[in-house]
Amino acid sequence: MAVNAADAAVHTAASGTTKWSRAWQSHAPGYLFLLPWFIGFFGLTIGPIISSFYLSFTDFDLLTSPEWVGTANYVRMFTADRAFAQSMQVTFTFVLFSVPLKLAFALAIAILLNRGMKGLPLYRAVFYLPSLLGASVAIAILWRQIFAGDGLVNQFLANFGIDGPSWISNPRYSLWTLIILSVWQFGSPMIIFLAGLRQIPQDMYEAASLDGASKWRQFWKITLPLLTPVVFFNAIIQTIEAFKSFTPAFIISNGTGSPINSTLFYTLYLYNEAFSYFRMGYASALAWFLLLLIGCFTAFSFLTSKYWVHYDD
Amino acid sequence: MTIDAHKLTVVTGAENDPAARLRKRVFSVLAHALLIGASILMLYPLLWLLAASFKPENEIFMSGIWPSISWDIESYFRGWNAMRVSFSVFFMNSFVIAFLCVVGNLIACSMAAYAFARLQFKGRNFWFAMMLMTLMLPGQVTLIPQYVLFRDLGWVNTILPLVAPKFLAVDAFFVFLMVQFFRGIPRELDEAAMMDGAGPWRIYWKIMLPLSIPVLVTAAIFTFIWTWDDFFAPLIYLNRMQDYTVMLGLRTFVDSTGESDFGGLFAMSVLSIVPIFVFFLLFQRLLIEGIATTGMKR
């Protein structure tokens, strides 16, 4: 509908000669094609961001209208809320371990596969499959079983006479089961690394080996520097994904972050504040703080990137 | 020229040196052994789940880590009807939602991408940058106001909050993917069409879309998979059991009978990922290429 109007605009404008109609002719189709996106951008993104900023300074339970409380929500977050501090610690631990491990596996396997291995498509498919399925509830259910007290891991350990704990319900290990789940999904960064590796010109390696550089040296002096843009991209995407992770922790801990809040991801805490306790104002403050965190992280990465990311142009 | 000569010496050198050839063989065998080991480790949990779903309830945990194969489909029947509402309803709901999301994304994202990739208008670069920024945005920031909005529209407990946003191109990832693809289509094609008097709508519909089938299929499959897998949005907006998606149904299964009926739970878990697996088998190459292009510079 909007688009037919775009065509019509072009045709009618062609006969008009005023400045305005010429401007209309050249700009209108673009805006009309973007119309759905504009409605979504303002109505579902920008509007809500502003509105949630306002809500973060209020008490709001969804039923009565929001009541202004100034910075009380933020003050409470940083001074009186142990669960908030705990959820920050859990989330940062998760990000700090899962992202580097995932990227390391992805890069190692990609490099191995890139040496013209036979059966590359098959290996690639096998490694990619978990990252396609990993976000699903079914996999979280499977993970609960694997790391349960009578689960697979302990059945395996029993063969060596080791009596393993219930990994899921032990606060010392529960977060690690989620980190392993995340690392298991290294397939999609691996695919991106593979595409990046393929763009490195082969003659660089040939020249290097003629100069007597070992494979190890070639990796550090050629592969890694030329791959830094891809490393950078993967690191940013995976970090943001890790910050936003929700489903596995929800399913594995029955939505509570148990045992003793050891898997209380930030997103899980926010969800419970909003939709279990209906503290929408406080949850909005949590959401804005998350936005700030991700914003700072992204800005910091881009600012420091010029010192370690190698761009050839 | 010189490089060609170098290549020649390197290649012939390796061919003639038996020690180098042996080293290469050993390396290759080691690499394959490593990759096969890793593959088994990656697939093992999935295979175990599949095997467990075909076992009689009392044998699931007695069979050890290498369960023998049996084909008892009892768990599937039991799991399918284990709750007040059967999984037929959940699957139907999930399919309807996923289908509508695919349609919405294909229309709205391709329109936006066409505008960004091909049309000239004031502020294009600015809006494009804005679109890219939304890629980084954590959904939690818009969650509560969106919930209030959809509640005021009376949309809670309908599929509209899950589906309608897709018709407004909110999935910036796909807009970005399509922009990259559209930019690769030769401009001469639209210029020739413009000479023949075709407007932007005709060019979009008759030239861009038909030439973009690969990226459209990629976007359709990813939309399907991500909507199918989505847990958060249904959790918030769908509260009546007859409206549940498969993922919500599974979660309720865990809560209600999970500890007593592992067989049924595993069987339904397997079924819930079958559609994703089928798409993976059929369109593996497109999916992998789609992922690969996102990491590349334009």
A109 touches chain B (CB under 8 A): yes
Residue B124 neighbours by CB under 8 Å, 6+ apart: A30, B115, B116
Long-range contacts of the stretch B152-155 (C-beta < 8 A, 24+): B155/B237
B62 assigned to some structural domain? no
Check residue B4 and give its pLDDT.
45
Q: Mean per-residue pLDDT for A227-256? A: 87
- What distance in Å separates the CA atoms of residue A11 and residue A91, rounded to the nearest whole number? 56
Residue A257 has pLDDT above 90, yes or no: no
Print burial letters for B154-168: b (CB count within 10 Å at least 16), e (below 16). ebeeebebbbbbbbb
- Per the structure, the count of domains in chain B is 1
CB-CB neighbors (< 8 A) of A114 in chain B: none
Q: Mean per-residue pLDDT for A183-197? A: 91
A127 touches chain B (CB under 8 A): yes
- What distance in Å separates the CA atoms of residue B206 and residue B160, rounded to the nearest whole number? 30
Q: Is the dihedral of CA B116, B117, B121, B124 positive or negative?
A: positive
B72 assigned to some structural domain? no
Check residue A16 and give its pLDDT.
47
Among A10, A95, A145, A296, pick the best mutation site for testing chain B contact (most B Cβ within 10 A). Answer: A145
Span(s) in chain A for CATH 1.10.3720.10: 81-308
Residue B151 neighbours by CB under 8 Å, 6+ apart: A62
Check residue B15 and give its pLDDT.
53
Check residue B296 and give its pLDDT.
55
Q: Tokens 């990227």 correspond to what residue?
A: A103
Chunk chain B into consecutive blocks of 10 residues (it has 298) and report each block's average pLDDT, rounded to whole numbers: 44 62 85 90 89 78 65 83 88 95 95 92 90 87 93 93 94 90 88 86 91 91 92 93 92 77 88 92 86 63
- What distance in Å separates the CA atoms of residue A31 and residue B138, rounded to the nearest whole number? 26
Q: Say yes or no for a CB contact (<8 Å) between A283 and B144.
A: yes
Could you list the residue range(s) of the whole structural domain that residue B192 is in?
A: 79-294
Three-state secondary structure string covering A106-138: HHHHHHHHCCCCCCHHHHHHHHHHHHHHCCCHH
Global pTM reads 0.87
Residue A238 has pLDDT above 50, yes or no: yes
**How distant is the Cα of A32 from the closest Cα of chain B, in angstroms?**
9
Check residue A254 and give its pLDDT.
78
Q: Is the dihedral of CA B257, B258, B261, B265 positive or negative?
A: positive
Q: Phi, psi at residue B84, to the nearest 5°?
A: -50, -40
Choose the closest CB to A270 out of B140, B151, B231: B140
Residue A125 neighbours by CB under 8 Å, 6+ apart: B280, B284, B288
Residue A29 has pLDDT above 80, yes or no: yes
Residue A3 has pLDDT above 70, yes or no: no
B184 assigned to some structural domain? yes
Residue A105 has pLDDT above 50, yes or no: yes
Separation of CA B59 from chain center: 34
Q: Say yes or no for a CB contact (<8 Å) between B199 and A10.
A: yes
Residue A8 has pLDDT above 70, yes or no: no
Q: Give pLDDT tens digits for B243-290.
A: 999 999 999 888 876 567 888 888 999 999 999 999 999 988 888 888
Q: Say yes or no for a CB contact (<8 Å) between A291 and B287.
A: no
Check residue B10 and give its pLDDT.
47
Choose the closest CB to A287 out of B140, B169, B273: B140
Question: Which of the four pLDDT bands, split at 50, 70 and 90, describes residue A7?
Answer: low
Which amino acid makes up residue B224? F
Domain A81-308 has CATH 1.10.3720.10: yes
Q: Mean per-residue pLDDT for A192-211? A: 86
B41 assigned to some structural domain? no
Q: Mean per-residue pLDDT for A195-213? A: 85
Check residue B9 and give its pLDDT.
44
Q: Give pLDDT tens digits for A35-67.
A: 999 999 999 999 999 999 999 999 898 888 888
B254 assigned to some structural domain? yes
Closest CA to A106 of A215, A232, A193: A193
- What distance in Å separates the CA atoms of residue B171 and residue B108, rounded to the nearest whole number? 9
- Concatenated DSSP letters for A237-281? HHHHHHHH--HHHHHHTTTTT-STTTT--HHHHHHHHHHTS--HH
Check residue A304 and give its pLDDT.
87
CB-CB neighbors (< 8 A) of A194 in chain B: 292
B19 assigned to some structural domain? no
CB-CB neighbors (< 8 A) of B167 in chain A: 36
**How distant is the Cα of B204 from the closest Cα of chain A, in angstroms?**
10
Residue A283 has pLDDT above 90, yes or no: yes
Q: Are A273 and A61 in contact (CB under 8 A)?
A: no
**What CATH number corresponds to the domain at position B177?**
1.10.3720.10
Choose the closest CB to A291 out of B107, B141, B226: B141
Residue A146 has pLDDT above 50, yes or no: yes
A62 touches chain B (CB under 8 A): yes
Print burial letters for B11-38: b (CB count within 10 Å at least 16), e (below 16). eeeeeeeeeeeeeeeeeeeeeeeebeeb
In this predicted complex, what is the ipTM?
0.84
What does each C-alpha distance from B75 to A312, B34, B42, B66 come to in angstroms? 58, 36, 25, 19
Residue A59 β-bridge partners: A67
- What distance in Å separates the CA atoms of residue B147 and residue B35, rounded to the nearest whole number? 46
Round the average pLDDT of chain A to a whole number and report it.
85
Q: Say yes or no for a CB contact (<8 Å) between A287 and B168.
A: no
A22 touches chain B (CB under 8 A): no
Number of helices and strands in chain A (H, E)? 16, 2
Residue A153 neighbours by CB under 8 Å, 6+ apart: A146, A147, A164, A167
Residue A248 has pLDDT above 90, yes or no: no
Closest CA to A247 of A267, A230, A227, A276: A267
B37 assigned to some structural domain? no
A146 touches chain B (CB under 8 A): yes
CB-CB neighbors (< 8 A) of A205 in chain B: none
Check residue B259 and give its pLDDT.
64
**How distant is the Cα of A179 from the closest Cα of chain B, in angstroms?**
15
Q: Give pLDDT tens digits for A147-183.
A: 887 778 888 888 787 877 788 878 888 889 899 999 9
B42 assigned to some structural domain? no
